[in-house]
Structure 1
Amino acid sequence: MRKIRTIFAMLFILVLASCQNQNEQEKADLIISGGTIYTVNENMPTVEAVAVKNNKIIFAGAATQIDQYKNDDTKVIDLQGKTMTPGFIEGHGHFMGLGYNELNVDLLQTKSFDEVIQKVKEAVDAAEPGQWITGRGWHQSKWNELPENTINGFPLHHAISEVSPNNPVYLRHASGHAGMANEKAMQIAGVLPLSKESMANLDVEGGEIFRDEQGNPTGVFNERAMTLITKHIPESTPEKDRKAFELAVKASHRNGITSFHDAGIGKENIALYRKMKEEGKLNVRMYAMLTGWDPELLEEWYEKGIEVDSSHLLTIRSIKLNCDGALGSRGAWLLKEYTDQPGHFGHETLPMSFVYTTSQKALENGFQVCSHAIGDRANREILDRYEKAMQEQPGKTEDHRFRIEHAQHLHPDDIPRFAELGVIPAMQAVHMSSDRPWAIDRLGEKRIKEGAYMWQALLESGVPIVNGTDVPVEPIDPLASFYASVTRKTLKGKPEGGYEPEQKMTREQALRSYTLDAAYGAFEEDIKGSIEIGKLADFTVFDKDIMTVEENEILKTNVAITIFDGKVVYQK
């Protein structure tokens, strides 16, 4: 009898301890309430309060129930009427490019060639003679006016060369698919002056050197011809890389970005990201795509296999292929010639045979393929290669989630193929806002209306869209892409009603494209992208309700707070 009483006593103590532990576990580290909270959960679209413990959501519901999760150690954030969403995900960008744009000459906001020249002069004045001056972000189609002399719509190098006689200069186009070099840089590269013999030897497959009437380079190098200059630019230093990385993290937090799909990285960046993770500085969830420019790197990873981080900070399971150029530089690969350059069809910058073999090997080894394609021919050719690889390995296509990055201009016949093949379009809505006013010159009205920036057509076909900015092609600000998604207007609010308004996203679709659908594009919808119990505590707080404010108020909205891994990492 005594033994039975002892057993019951021990059981009682265990049950009591269990209840106490359970009660302790239910106490939150962080409670957020006092504003509208959009969950991107169809079963409960909004909640009044959220509780977090150990970087996970433990409650999302009514404010009347939140006190049970509070104790003396719980931090409480009162939104004071602000709006919270899941942490925004940059669905296609270049992380180190973002950081280096903050370190080098930033030309994203320049409105004229004169502004570019002035920025270069300021950089030269602060540099040592012979030091390379590099920058990025200029876009001639976004300037208020073009300089007097242009070739193919691009400026000539002479004015930049005049202010930088002793410093080599290379300025990457905003698209990343062209660049301008000054005279000093071209001399170092051996492309100035040019003889007839050297001109023939400098032709680059998949690229071109823009030339004047005498056959000399204008300074603009398009697509793969850029390597003639860039191979002479000194490599970065580890110290500068770390600085660029840290600046990119801060820029992400300022803009409410808690996760980042890094579109194409090599061994050096992988090593840097791992180092930053070890030091506790990888404060953005990184979904990294291996660069297809390094076949040896791909083979190494096929043998190694995918790497899914249990801490959800650095995951490597996809491959980025660059298959054509940009529309602005007329590098996008088209089925029919450019309207404003007859006889020109753009560039196939990567052999389609490589897309096919990469797709085969990716399916065999569990990797996702993410192929850059802007022109309608590039999109069709890639879909063809994806389809062929899938047909040959039907047992390995159940959840491949292959993507096409940009999918900017499609032939109408290819729009339904995305859903049929399960291919995800990763489209940066802000490109429509920036490019549409002049893109019609490249493609003509018919092709624009039937196949450019076809967001609603793709969504209605049954595929999700991954949104983003392609930073540093565009600023990382997600509200610019959100605004473009729902208005189809330029960032100046033109035209009234928007371009091809039938292709607008609803605000709910636009929010999903930056959260849950972006998470789906990285196989991560079960751990983030919506505010639900068990998911990671990444949140973005805006000072206005982006789901209800007038259209013209969206771009006046600011990120007020960014919460990453259950901790406030930015507060305005």
Structure 2
Amino acid sequence: MPLKKIIKPLILASLCASSSYTLAQTKVIYNANGYTPLYKGEVQQFSTLVIKNGKVVKLGSETLKDSYPDAKLIDAHGNTLLPGLIDAHGHVIGLGDNLSQLDVRGATSVDEVTNKLKVFADNKQGWIIGRGWNQELWADTRFPTAKDLDKVVSDQPVVLSRVDSHAIWVNSKALELAGITAQTKAPEGGEIIKDEFGNPTGIFVDKAESLITQHMPAPSKQDISDSLDAAGKHLLSLGITSTHDAGIDKATWEVYKERGDLGNLPLRIVAMLSGASPDLDTMLKAGRYHDKNDFMEIRSVKVYADGALGSRGAALIEEYADRPGHHGLMLETQEKLEALFTQSFKSGFSANTHAIGDKANKVVLDAYQNVFKKTGGILLRNRIEHAQIVTPEDIPRFKALKIIPSMQPVHATSDMHMAEQRLTEKQLSGAYAWQTFLKQGSVVAAGSDYPVELANPFDGLYSAITRMDHNKLPENGWRASEVLSREDALRAFTLGGAYSAHQEFKVGSLEKGKWADFILIDKDYFKVPVDEIYKTNVLQTWVAGIKRYEKTKTENTIDK
């Protein structure tokens, strides 16, 4: 059945709420403690925001409202008003799926995971899917095994993704259904963890995941649409008005375009086509996509160069400090990366490449440089996603090649203890180097990598400003020379994301002619004690001058 015929009544109601009358009506938000970074300038303070046709007309003092006697007046009650926050790297459908699947994030032992699985599996049929385990949080930090899961679920396949999505943990039933034996070989760019007898233990890293996941039932379009709505609702509640979706398949691409044409997307999405998709050529030939109200933009390809640090899949120049002889996994050769870049650029798409380890970052930079010389494409605002471990000599190459570092501040505070174990001081010398990138003139686009990390952008802002955990440790911050100021952190979560998507004249700040995407929060971001930033609550979220979320729930979540 076509997606257009199965859109939920709630979605249709939101369409009615976004009527031409609602958009055309002038609204004045007054009595606000407003701040906005400026595209060319410092942070501007204001108390009144004037909106018409969903866009910013003017900012000013309290008396500005007197110039609009026929406008709808909205009292901000002295709350702080900021531009809507932009998460430059997340996984929308993965987040939506995660909200309805088994969540074992934060579990401190195998037993805690299996206890949650036992409860979740009651009355569940078919494949049991979950996410969030992290062996680094356990007393025994070794990878778990299929036998651990078999103790509670043995008659149904179980697949649990590691918190970083770069490894899966499965039970024996899943191994059986996938036909995995001691003779099964991992594909290039993947690893099957095996025991001393050569038998698969139940852990599959990076590209080896596909040996299992290809046997899982594919979601329907309605499943994808439902996950989109669930994720959108959650993100809006956190103050995120625009998000970049880092790698979508063909089914999601189709849903996104249909929802974009219908005009009922919950928030703005900048989607990247998955470079690993077998349908990449088909999607590229269809050309770039954007809807008339800038809610959906598809003009880039997500390319995957290596794995993640937590599963020791990040590709390193020198060996892992805690696994001698192991250098991680390159998921693609430099030749293949160059072919993907060339294919993307010739179609008018930029390339946003996942690279975490210093070897992966070097190889990706080399690949970009070679393709720019042969094909062009240097002005497409190509990105390296994560750019976590970079050699000091490679950092300046980002600026020279006009590569945008798309970075997630929470990764530093989540990874810091593990990174100290995995890496030597030499390898850490260019790690999570936000301030170094800014000082050389690079634009940093900040995000969270949800659902790998929690999506709350105030966690990210806090991490960027302090490089400490929520217990304010380590004192003064981990590798504190790379901290950001409050202004630079906010800019990375607003204009940085906008610039990286070619949208700096549409969103990212509250300047005349831009979409009126903004949030009201319960703390003064610029004045509150730094350890209060991550405790910030979003009171309201507005997109294009329409209220999409309100914490109190006393009003309809859509402004009419």
The TM-score normalised by the length of structure 1 is 0.89
Letter in 1 for 2:430: G
Query: Kindly tell me: are residues 118 and 251 of structure 1, through their superposed partners in 2, closer, same or farther at Cα, counting changes over 3 Å?
Result: same
The answer to whether the aligner puts 1:146 opposite 2:139 as a matched pair is: yes
**Map of 2:444 onto structure 1:** 465
Tell me, what secondary structure is at the counterpart of 1:126?
A: coil
Q: Structure 2: how far apart are the matches of 1:62 and 1:359?
A: 48
Give, in angstroms, the shift of residue 276 of structure 1. 2.5
The answer to whether the aligner puts 1:240 opposite 2:223 as a matched pair is: yes
- Of residues 163-172 and 363-372 in structure 1, the stretch that sits farther from structure 2 once superposed is 363-372
**Map of 1:170 onto structure 2:** 159
Structure 1 gaps, min length 5: 1-23
For the 8 Å contact 2:24–2:54, the answer to whether it is kept is: no
Letter in 1 for 2:431: A
Of residues 35, 38, 41 in structure 2, which corresponds to 1:38? 35
Give, in angstroms, the shift of residue 44 of structure 1. 5.8
The answer to whether the aligner puts 1:319 opposite 2:304 as a matched pair is: no
Query: Kindly tell me: are residues 237 and 365 of structure 1, through their superposed partners in 2, closer, same or farther at Cα, counting changes over 3 Å?
Result: closer
Please show how residues 147-226 of structure 1 align to structure 2 within 5 Å: 147=140, 153-192=142-181, 194=182, 198=183, 201-226=184-209
Give, in angstroms, the shift of residue 156 of structure 1. 2.1
TM-superposition CA deviations, 1:450-482 (whole Å, max 9, x none): 111001001001101111110110111001111
The answer to whether the aligner puts 1:134 opposite 2:129 as a matched pair is: yes
**Map of 1:51 onto structure 2:** 50
- Of residues 41-50 and 536-545 in structure 1, the stretch that sits farther from structure 2 once superposed is 41-50
Q: Structure 2: how far apart are the matches of 1:97 and 1:291?
A: 14
Give, in angstroms, the shift of residue 26 of structure 1. 13
The answer to whether the aligner puts 1:266 opposite 2:245 as a matched pair is: no
Of residues 345, 358, 361 in structure 2, which corresponds to 1:376? 358
Tell me, what secondary structure is at the counterpart of 1:519?
A: helix
**Map of 2:337 onto structure 1:** 355
Give, in angstroms, the shift of residue 446 of structure 1. 2.9
Letter in 1 for 2:73: V
The answer to whether the aligner puts 1:65 opposite 2:64 as a matched pair is: yes
Of residues 456, 459, 483 in structure 2, which corresponds to 1:477? 456
The answer to whether the aligner puts 1:416 opposite 2:405 as a matched pair is: no
**Map of 1:122 onto structure 2:** 119
**Map of 1:13 onto structure 2:** none
Query: Kindly tell me: are residues 243 and 28 of structure 1, through their superposed partners in 2, closer, same or farther at Cα, counting changes over 3 Å?
Result: closer
For the 8 Å contact 1:433–1:491, the answer to whether it is kept is: no
Give, in angstroms, the shift of residue 161 of structure 1. 1.0
Please show how residues 489-504 of structure 1 align to structure 2 within 5 Å: 489-504=468-483
Give, in angstroms, the shift of residue 363 of structure 1. 3.1
Letter in 1 for 2:169: M
**Map of 1:8 onto structure 2:** none
Letter in 2 for 1:34: N
Query: Kindly tell me: are residues 351 and 295 of structure 1, through their superposed partners in 2, closer, same or farther at Cα, counting changes over 3 Å?
Result: farther
For the 8 Å contact 1:124–1:167, the answer to whether it is kept is: no
**Map of 1:286 onto structure 2:** 269
Q: Structure 1: how far apart are the matches of 2:62 and 2:364?
A: 50
**Map of 1:570 onto structure 2:** 549
Query: Kindly tell me: are residues 78 and 247 of structure 1, through their superposed partners in 2, closer, same or farther at Cα, counting changes over 3 Å?
Result: same
Q: Structure 2: how far apart are the matches of 1:291 and 1:27?
A: 38
Q: Structure 2: how far apart are the matches of 1:165 and 1:112?
A: 20
**Map of 1:521 onto structure 2:** 500
For the 8 Å contact 1:368–1:402, the answer to whether it is kept is: yes
**Map of 1:106 onto structure 2:** 103
Give, in angstroms, the shift of residue 210 of structure 1. 1.0
Give, in angstroms, the shift of residue 309 of structure 1. 3.0
Moved over 4 A (4+): 24-28
Cα root mean square deviation, aligned: 1.9
For the 8 Å contact 2:23–2:545, the answer to whether it is kept is: no
- Normalized per residue, the structure richer in helix is 1
**Map of 1:76 onto structure 2:** 73
Tell me, what secondary structure is at the counterpart of 1:561?
A: strand
Query: Kindly tell me: are residues 362 and 202 of structure 1, through their superposed partners in 2, closer, same or farther at Cα, counting changes over 3 Å?
Result: closer
**Map of 1:341 onto structure 2:** 323
**Map of 1:252 onto structure 2:** 235
Q: Structure 1: how far apart are the matches of 2:212 and 2:347?
A: 36
Query: Kindly tell me: are residues 138 and 26 of structure 1, through their superposed partners in 2, closer, same or farther at Cα, counting changes over 3 Å?
Result: closer
**Map of 2:9 onto structure 1:** none
Letter in 2 for 1:546: Y
**Map of 2:349 onto structure 1:** 367
For the 8 Å contact 1:108–1:475, the answer to whether it is kept is: no
Letter in 2 for 1:499: W
Give, in angstroms, the shift of residue 67 of structure 1. 2.0
**Map of 1:332 onto structure 2:** 314
**Map of 1:90 onto structure 2:** 87
For the 8 Å contact 1:49–1:62, the answer to whether it is kept is: yes
For the 8 Å contact 1:425–1:466, the answer to whether it is kept is: yes
Q: Structure 2: how far apart are the matches of 1:383 and 1:295?
A: 25
Letter in 1 for 2:208: A
Give, in angstroms, the shift of residue 431 of structure 1. 0.5
Letter in 1 for 2:164: S
Give, in angstroms, the shift of residue 247 of structure 1. 0.4
For the 8 Å contact 1:283–1:564, the answer to whether it is kept is: no
Q: Structure 2: how far apart are the matches of 1:75 and 1:560?
A: 20
Q: Structure 2: how far apart are the matches of 1:162 and 1:433?
A: 34
The answer to whether the aligner puts 1:431 opposite 2:407 as a matched pair is: no
Give, in angstroms, the shift of residue 359 of structure 1. 2.1
For the 8 Å contact 1:410–1:452, the answer to whether it is kept is: yes
Tell me, what secondary structure is at the counterpart of 1:65?
A: helix
Letter in 1 for 2:528: V
Q: Structure 1: how far apart are the matches of 2:467 and 2:420?
A: 14
The answer to whether the aligner puts 1:557 opposite 2:536 as a matched pair is: yes
The TM-score normalised by the length of structure 2 is 0.91
Query: Kindly tell me: are residues 122 and 27 of structure 1, through their superposed partners in 2, closer, same or farther at Cα, counting changes over 3 Å?
Result: closer
Give, in angstroms, the shift of residue 87 of structure 1. 0.6
For the 8 Å contact 1:562–1:569, the answer to whether it is kept is: yes
Q: Structure 1: how far apart are the matches of 2:244 and 2:194?
A: 37
Q: Structure 1: how far apart are the matches of 2:161 and 2:496?
A: 31
Q: Structure 2: how far apart are the matches of 1:156 and 1:357?
A: 37
Tell me, what secondary structure is at the counterpart of 1:154?
A: coil
Give, in angstroms, the shift of residue 417 of structure 1. 0.7
Tell me, what secondary structure is at the counterpart of 2:208?
A: helix
Give aligned-pair identity as a percent.
40
TM-superposition CA deviations, 1:218-245 (whole Å, max 9, x none): 2111111111111111112333222211
**Map of 2:11 onto structure 1:** none
Count of aligned positions: 529
Letter in 1 for 2:499: Y
Query: Kindly tell me: are residues 497 and 69 of structure 1, through their superposed partners in 2, closer, same or farther at Cα, counting changes over 3 Å?
Result: same
Letter in 2 for 1:562: T
Letter in 2 for 1:146: A
**Map of 1:548 onto structure 2:** 527
For the 8 Å contact 2:275–2:304, the answer to whether it is kept is: yes
Please show how residues 439-450 of structure 1 align to structure 2 within 5 Å: 439-448=419-428, 450=429
Give, in angstroms, the shift of residue 104 of structure 1. 0.8
